[in-house]
Structure 1
Amino acid sequence: MGEKGKKFINEFKEFALKGNVLDLAIGVIIGGAFNKIVSSLVSDIIMPPIGAITGGVDFKDLKYILKPGVDGADAVTLNYGAFIQNVVDFLIIALSIFIFIKVISKLNRKKAEVKEEEIEVEEPKLTLEQELLTEIRDLLKKNNSGQI
């Protein structure tokens, strides 16, 4: 293996072992599990009542037959019910992520405000000498500005 090959492998190792890549991998795994939960929520909890309201229609079964099945062959169909269910899945996932990000952002803002409050330091109190010198300085500035 040449010098370029070794350099490429070292760059790949550096990239693959960075914290961001590992965080992304963990996020993808958790996202997959979250997707299963949301799909179950939609198909098992949300869609049945909607189907009952629409007359007992199961959205998974909604389809438009383009070509009927002939001689044991399956019919060619547009499964728009499954599409509707996937759209509802997406909307719930998007809403969940939006709410999660808002909560995290709010918590981060509160942490930042607390840190800023901790950083604020009271101005040191001036000694009597410093106060008198400040008054003298201000009087001199006032007198000099009147003469110009």
Structure 2
Amino acid sequence: MNDHDTPDSLLKLDLQVCFALYSTNLAMTKVYRRLLRELGLTYPQYLVMMVLWEEDGQTVSEIGERLFLDSATLTPLLKRLEGMGLLSRRRAVDDERRVRVQLTDPGRELRIRAEAIPEAVACASQCQPEELRALKDQLHALRRKLNG
């Protein structure tokens, strides 16, 4: 136990890693909300689009694995993006239980407008690129540990 870990201080809000993550996520979401407004996307929709911009034609389950989302959460996102004309969903020819997600032309074209977002987020963070890389690596390591 160090000076901060006395029984009286264990439940202090500002000493909690979870609160630091939570409150930082709120601040980051606010930055993204402003930037994504001009693309007409929410942050979860943007994540789906980024996965498809990396590799088009993935199945719903592949997208869900990549984003740590179950199909009950992912399906409404995909339906909304499909309604916006950014992607299409089709049953896989080889296995009708699987649904493949394909970008449409407008979905592919949206990528060009989205390319400025990572730099704008980096600027808003006021961090150096190496600081952001180190933080990202630490968060990935923490996620792996928490997931067992």
For normalisation by structure 2, the TM-score amounts to 0.31
For normalisation by structure 1, the TM-score amounts to 0.31
Flag the structure with more relative contact order, 1 or 2, with Cα contacts below 8 A and sequence separation at least 6: 2
- Pick the structure with more helix per residue: 1
